[in-house]
Amino acid sequence: MKEGPVAIGENGPMFNTGVVISSTTDERSHSAAESVSRELTALGFDSVTKDDTRKLSPFVSVGVEPRPSGPQGKAKLKAQKMQAKSQAEDATGPK
């Protein structure tokens, strides 16, 4: 085990990072959770959905876990756009 400040996950099992959306398995709750996750991803955030079978009534929860490494939100979208542009230039040559 490393001493001192270390990045999340270096000293043991990796925790969930980003946004975790949990829902019961009924169709409406599961669909709502998927929609929230899809929109967060479109906005540049890391998100995952998980089924929560412990709840009996329809339920959706949104949990914000530790920040993932790397950019999030607008910064992530900008980085992805720049990377795609760079790859396109590499494939076709600079203009």
Question: pTM above 0.75?
Answer: no
Phi, psi dihedral angles at 17 (to 5 degrees): -125, 160
- β partners of residue 63: 20
Lowest mean pLDDT among 7-16, 33-42, 46-55, 82-91: 7-16
Phi, psi dihedral angles at 93 (to 5 degrees): 90, 155
Q: pLDDT for 56-70, tens place per residue?
A: 899 999 998 887 778
Average pLDDT, the chain: 82
Which three-class secondary structure state does DSSP give residue 63? strand
The mean pLDDT value for 30-46 works out to 92
Tallying the residues shown for the chain, one arrives at: 95
